[in-house]
Amino acid sequence: MQDLAETAKALVAEGKGILAADESTGTIKKRLDSIGVESTEDTRRAYRELLFTTEGAEEYISGVILYDETIRQSAADGTPFPKLLESKGIIPGIKVDQGAKPLALAEGETITEGLDGLRERLAEYRELGARFAKWRATYSIEPDKPSEYCVWTNAHALARYAALCQEAGIVPIVEPEVLQDGTHTIEQSRKATGRVLQALYTELHDQRIDFTGTLLKPNMVLSGYEASDRAGVDEVAETTLECFYKHVPAAVPGIVFLSGGQTDEDATAHLNAMNARGPHPWQLSFSYGRALQAPALKAWEGKPENVEAAQRAYYHRAKMNGAARTGMYAPEMEREAAPV
Ligand code: 13P
């Protein structure tokens, strides 16, 4: 368990956070479609290579979450991606859930699948270099949702996943994502997020998880993206912190937020505002997908001549989020340090 705690701590080392590059084949197709690039094994590989070879990203990036296809792929020079990342001091991780599927007898709610055969898959991923893993459960906010049924079945599955990871010597990142779409108030989000976290830590405890060898990847507590009167940065920071102080044990070394459809700059500003109110019992960091990648994807357009511009855009976002780790980010830095 000592190794697990060390890996978890390294993933939330000062000034650093995680790049989520574990989009499933369906999700990465949507991202590539948005820039007019056909999704093939090779375009997906080329895009991930661009990210992983960005010089200096390791100053701000501690780990990268890979997908099953990606962990088996190599850079153009033949270096397997996990080896390439390790050579830069970046820890390779792997998404192991098999997606959120309709929860039986619960209209509009989901249960995340992927437990069958997980012990064997984890053993193989460890051989391939993975030192941490991710499992994402999703919950919607509506007057009657999330239901207790959805909250507890997903908590149970997250804990079963976490136990198998720790047995395999892999740090589990547990990701309960309360989706922030819709018109809900920040108070409704706080209530749903608290409920989900309370159930999750009950199950993790009951299934014998060593919290020191885990990380939590949650949503921030926000007003719904379509709400008319949305909470500002200070209210988001204070409400999110109040919720986490109440529900997340201090033995957890780090909370690595997902961006979940916030703009890149909002995701950075919110993280910064929380860290500015520190110190906290846990490191507060990032494990962003879209909020780290969006400008790079746009700059790339699938063209080799744009690789450098795309890498500059990714490096810039990593640097801004690195600053937000210590509460030293300011929106002016976007302009001053903007990639040319
Ligand atoms: P976003 O930051 O784009 O929400 O992605 C993080 C992630 O890994 C979702 O599972």
Give the confidence band of 260 by pLDDT, cuts at 50, 70, 90: very high
List Cβ neighbours of 10 (8 Å cut-off, separation of 6 or more).
62, 63, 91
The residue nearest atom 4 of ligand 1, judged by CA position, is 260
What is the predicted pLDDT for the residue at 338?
A: 55
What is the predicted pLDDT for the residue at 196?
A: 99
CA distance 39 to 25: 8
Q: Which residues on neighbouring strands pair with residue 176, listed in sequence order?
A: 137
Ligand 1 atom closest to Cα of 22?
8
Check residue 59 and report its DSSP letter.
Answer: G
Task: Label residues 145-174 b or e (16+ Cβ within 10 Å = b).
Answer: bbbeebbbbbbbbbbebbbbbbebebbbbb
Q: Is the pTM of this model over 0.95?
A: yes
What is the predicted pLDDT for the residue at 336?
A: 75
What is the predicted pLDDT for the residue at 1?
A: 63
Helix, strand, coil distribution of the chain in percent, nearest 5: 50, 15, 35
Q: What are 285-336's pLDDT values in tens digits? A: 999 999 999 999 999 999 999 999 999 999 999 999 999 999 999 999 998 7
What is the predicted pLDDT for the residue at 286?
A: 98
Q: What are 145-159's pLDDT values in tens digits? A: 999 999 999 999 999
Q: Is 313 exposed, middle or buried (0-12, 13-18, 19+ CB in 10 A)?
A: buried
Mean pLDDT over 7-18 rounds to 98
Mean pLDDT over 114-140 rounds to 98
Ligand 1 mutation pick, 258, 268, 297, max ligand atoms within 8 A of CB: 258
Residue 259 CB–ligand 1 contact under 6 Å: yes
CA distance 170 to 165: 5
The answer to whether residue 253 scores a pLDDT higher than 70 is yes
The residue nearest atom 5 of ligand 1, judged by CA position, is 289
For the chain, the C-alpha Rg in angstroms (whole number) is 19
Give the confidence band of 195 by pLDDT, cuts at 50, 70, 90: very high
The answer to whether residue 339 scores a pLDDT higher than 60 is no
pLDDT > 90: percent of the chain: 98
- Given a contact cutoff of 8 angstroms between Cβ atoms, the answer to whether 229 and 279 are in contact is no
Residue 290 CB–ligand 1 contact under 6 Å: yes
CA of 263 to the centre of ligand 1 (A): 12
What is the predicted pLDDT for the residue at 335?
A: 85
List Cβ neighbours of 70 (8 Å cut-off, separation of 6 or more).
21, 22, 44, 45, 48, 81
* Lookup: tokens for 53: 């070879």
Ligand 1 atom closest to Cα of 259?
2
Q: What are 205-216's pLDDT values in tens digits? A: 999 999 999 999
Q: From residue 77, give the alpha-carbon distance in Å to each of 57, 80, 104.
A: 19, 9, 47
- Given a contact cutoff of 8 angstroms between Cβ atoms, the answer to whether 137 and 163 are in contact is no
Residue 271 CB–ligand 1 contact under 6 Å: no
List Cβ neighbours of 270 (8 Å cut-off, separation of 6 or more).
220, 233, 236, 237, 240, 257, 262
Rama region for 129: left / alpha / beta (φ>0; ψ in -120 to 50; rest): left
Query: Phi/psi at 228 (nearest 5 deg)?
Result: -80, -40
CA of 288 to the centre of ligand 1 (A): 5
Residue 136 CB–ligand 1 contact under 6 Å: yes
CA of 128 to the centre of ligand 1 (A): 23
- Given a contact cutoff of 8 angstroms between Cβ atoms, the answer to whether 176 and 154 are in contact is yes
Name the residues annotated as catalytic.
175, 217
List Cβ neighbours of 304 (8 Å cut-off, separation of 6 or more).
none
Ligand 1 atom closest to Cα of 290?
3
CA distance 183 to 248: 26
Give the confidence band of 2 by pLDDT, cuts at 50, 70, 90: low
Residue 146 CB–ligand 1 contact under 6 Å: no
- Given a contact cutoff of 8 angstroms between Cβ atoms, the answer to whether 190 and 239 are in contact is yes
Per-chain mean pLDDT for the chain: 97
What is the predicted pLDDT for the residue at 337?
A: 61
Q: What are 48-104's pLDDT values in tens digits? A: 999 999 999 999 999 999 999 999 999 999 999 999 999 999 999 999 999 999 999
CA of 236 to the centre of ligand 1 (A): 19
Residue with tokens 């820039």: 35
